[in-house]
């Protein structure tokens, strides 16, 4: 404890902060990449005038509250007062829209990744550029504002993501990590910058509107992992730390999006590696050898923090519905006079699924609380369907629920396979994998790929961006990011690996045959109800 107190007070730690959708988390890691302190703040987005947003006062106040909580925890545990760090990193939700004028004034409500209001603009932009532009991307929101004739567009002089904005407030630098940048506008794999050819096409498309800017001039400068991205200014130190003890001059690494820092936390940046995140939404990311050859609206191309191309398939719905069912069983257990701890209840029900029939016995669970692009659904309605001859028992019910959480991602994975995208392994993380050996085995069968679950995966994006801060100060500047992660960060990390079993692969394929047919019932329910 004394050693750590001295370590922290001498400013030797690395600080990582991530602004997630429901929690802002701050962590400090040491030279051995262990989390030695953390703090957090819970927050929620709000729906205002049809836009999912966070108010600026919530962003500023939430950031300070998370950092204050970190300092209080450090004081309580170590008796230390922190004045400095070796390096700092900022991460946040990717995508979204934060436009500013020349004086730094926000011109429109922060439009988060959750908004689908830019769908028409994204469709038109995709057709124009012949490159998939999802609804969530920053450039799609910009084009949407242009098409709607929003007057603020003429006044924009800078636009960025949430991570880019916080980094700007701390350093004054208008920069962005390449992973986060790849959710703003398409990236050129050769130059590591925005695609000049597509910028030219877009500028030509909007030329008749007479805006006093070129699109490139609005975007933050792109940096790869390891590059210096400015230092903490005196104003930035005062902005983050209301106690006034934090000093200026601390170096910051390029700010990154949550997808990129998730790749770091799961050691999934080497080519032919992948990671699967299962939370409220789900996504599968595959690091590719080369760019996608064919335009697929179902496949989004982004980049790792060091610039490798990544194919991402995203599901709006993942674990929400299965959590609701588990809660229902918990309510029954309490009514029966045998209340169960939530972790115990989840474990009991998940393990029961292993006793079910391979294909879930003719039961199909559609977890669509919201629409699902990959399944062609504009809106959702959670639905449980079973064939008349289904073996309807608890084991098959839970197996169908677990199968259903990853079914939409499997639809996307089939598209990746058609494109020749191959993976040597998938690293899985999220609450779905908390019960050892259950969902992990099912994912291995569903995706026909070995699946590993690492202890460090639970550390999340704040840990990932702290690692990137440390990487910026690496001793050997020629050491690439995959080697750094393998040889230093995760050299001694323990991981459980599930190999795909032939019986599981066949069972999930059989389940998916019925699942695809049953989408007609899901569509009818969503439209009618």
302 shares a domain with 329: no
Write down the pLDDT at residue 462. 95
**Each residue of 134-186: pLDDT tens digit?**
998 999 999 999 999 999 999 999 999 999 999 999 999 999 999 999 999 99
Write down the pLDDT at residue 497. 94
401 shares a domain with 389: yes
User: Phi-psi bin for 210: left (phi > 0), alpha (psi -120 to 50), beta?
Assistant: left
Domain that holds residue 481: 263-317+413-498
Write down the pLDDT at residue 483. 97
463 shares a domain with 392: no
Structural domain includes residue 516: yes
Structural domain includes residue 346: yes
Structural domain includes residue 63: no
434 shares a domain with 398: no
Residue from 424, 426, 400, 220 nearest 313 by CA? 426
Write down the pLDDT at residue 371. 85
Burial code of 428-443, b = ≥16 C-beta within 10 A, e = fewer? Answer: bbbbbbebeebbbbbb
Strand 158-160 and strand 98-100: pairing?
antiparallel
Structural domain includes residue 95: no
512 shares a domain with 370: yes
Structural domain includes residue 457: yes
Residues 283, 277 contacting (CB under 8 angstroms): yes
Integer Cα distance of 402 and 146 in angstroms: 42
**Rg of the Cα trace of the chain?**
23
Largest Cα span, the chain: 71
Residue 441: which residues within 8 A CB-CB, separation 6 or more?
354, 451, 498, 501, 504
Instruction: Please tell me whether the overall predicted TM-score, pTM, comes out greater than 0.75 for this model.
Output: yes
Write down the pLDDT at residue 476. 95
**8-state DSSP, 454:** E
Q: Which residues of the chain have pLDDT under 70?
A: 456-459
Distances (CA, A) of 344 to 339, 349, 351, 434, 442: 10, 9, 11, 11, 20
Structural domain includes residue 443: yes
Structural domain includes residue 81: no
* Number of domains the chain contains: 2
399 shares a domain with 420: no
489 shares a domain with 359: no
CATH number at residue 283: 3.30.420.40
285 shares a domain with 406: no
Strand 383-386 and strand 363-366: pairing?
antiparallel
- E strands, 175-319, are 175-177, 187-188, 193-194, 221-223, 256-257, 273-278, 282-287, 300-303, 309-315
Write down the pLDDT at residue 456. 58
**Each residue of 395-422: pLDDT tens digit?**
999 999 999 999 999 999 999 988 888 8
432 shares a domain with 492: yes
Residue for token digits 């697929």? 296
487 shares a domain with 436: yes
332 shares a domain with 302: no
396 shares a domain with 417: no
Residues 299, 312 contacting (CB under 8 angstroms): yes
**Each residue of 8-67: pLDDT tens digit?**
999 999 999 999 988 999 999 999 999 999 999 999 999 899 899 999 999 999 999 999
Structural domain includes residue 401: yes
Integer Cα distance of 273 and 291 in angstroms: 15
Write down the pLDDT at residue 86. 98
Residues 426, 446 contacting (CB under 8 angstroms): no
**Burial, 146: exposed, middle or buried (Cβ in 10 Å; 0-12, 13-18, 19+)?**
middle
């Amino acid at each position: 404890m004394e050693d750590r107190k001295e370590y922290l007070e001498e400013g030797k730690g690395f600080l990582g902060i991530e602004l997630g959708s429901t929690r802002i988390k701050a962590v400090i890691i040491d030279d051995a990449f262990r989390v030695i302190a953390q703090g957090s703040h819970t927050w929620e987005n709000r729906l205002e005038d049809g836009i999912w947003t966070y108010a600026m006062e919530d962003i500023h106040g939430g950031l300070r509250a998370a950092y204050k909580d970190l300092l209080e925890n450090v004081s309580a545990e170590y008796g230390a007062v922190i004045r400095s760090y070796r390096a700092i990193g900022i991460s946040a939700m990717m995508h979204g829209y934060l436009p500013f004028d020349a004086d730094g004034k926000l011109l429109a409500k922060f439009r988060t990744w959750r908004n689908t209001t830019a769908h028409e603009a994204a469709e038109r932009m995709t057709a124009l550029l012949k490159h998939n532009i999802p609804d969530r991307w920053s450039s799609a929101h910009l084009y949407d504002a242009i098409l709607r004739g929003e007057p603020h567009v003429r006044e924009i002089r800078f636009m960025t993501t949430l991570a880019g904005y916080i980094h700007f407030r701390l350093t004054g630098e208008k920069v962005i990590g390449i992973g986060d940048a790849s959710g703003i506008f398409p990236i050129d794999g050769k130059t590591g910058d925005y695609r000049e050819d597509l910028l030219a096409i877009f500028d030509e498309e909007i030329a008749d509107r007479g805006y006093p800017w070129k699109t490139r001039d609005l975007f933050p400068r792109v940096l790869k992992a390891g590059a210096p991205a400015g230092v903490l200014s005196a104003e930035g130190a005062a902005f983050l730390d209301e106690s006034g003890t934090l000093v200026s001059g601390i170096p910051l690494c390029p700010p990154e999006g949550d997808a990129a820092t998730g790749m770091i936390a799961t050691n999934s940046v080497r080519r032919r590696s992948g990671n699967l995140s299962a939370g409220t939404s789900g996504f599968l990311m595959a690091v590719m050898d080369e760019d996608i050859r064919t335009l697929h609206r179902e496949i989004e191309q982004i980049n790792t923090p060091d610039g490798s191309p990544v194919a991402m398939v995203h599901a709006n719905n993942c674990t929400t519905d299965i959590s609701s069912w588990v809660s229902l069983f918990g309510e029954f257990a309490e009514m029966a006079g045998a209340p169960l701890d939530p972790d115990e209840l989840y474990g009991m029900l998940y393990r029961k699924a292993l006793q079910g029939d391979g294909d879930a016995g003719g039961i199909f669970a559609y977890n669509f609380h919201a629409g699902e692009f990959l399944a062609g659904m504009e809106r959702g309605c959670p639905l449980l369907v079973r064939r008349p001859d289904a073996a309807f028992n608890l084991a098959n019910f839970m197996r169908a629920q677990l199968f259903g959480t990853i079914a939409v991602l499997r639809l996307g994975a089939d598209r990746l396979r058609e494109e020749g995208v191959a993976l040597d392994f998938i690293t899985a993380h999220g609450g779905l994998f908390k019960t050892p050996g259950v969902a992990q085995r099912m994912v291995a069968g569903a995706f026909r790929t070995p699946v590993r679950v690492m202890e460090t995966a639970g550390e999340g994006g704040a840990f990932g961006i702290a690692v990137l801060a440390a990487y910026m100060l690496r001793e050997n500047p020629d050491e690439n990011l995959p080697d750094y992660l393998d040889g230093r960060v995760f050299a001694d990390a323990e991981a459980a690996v599930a190999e795909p079993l032939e019986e599981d692969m066949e069972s999930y394929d059989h389940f998916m045959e019925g699942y695809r047919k049953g989408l007609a019932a899901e569509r009818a329910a969503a439209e009618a109800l």
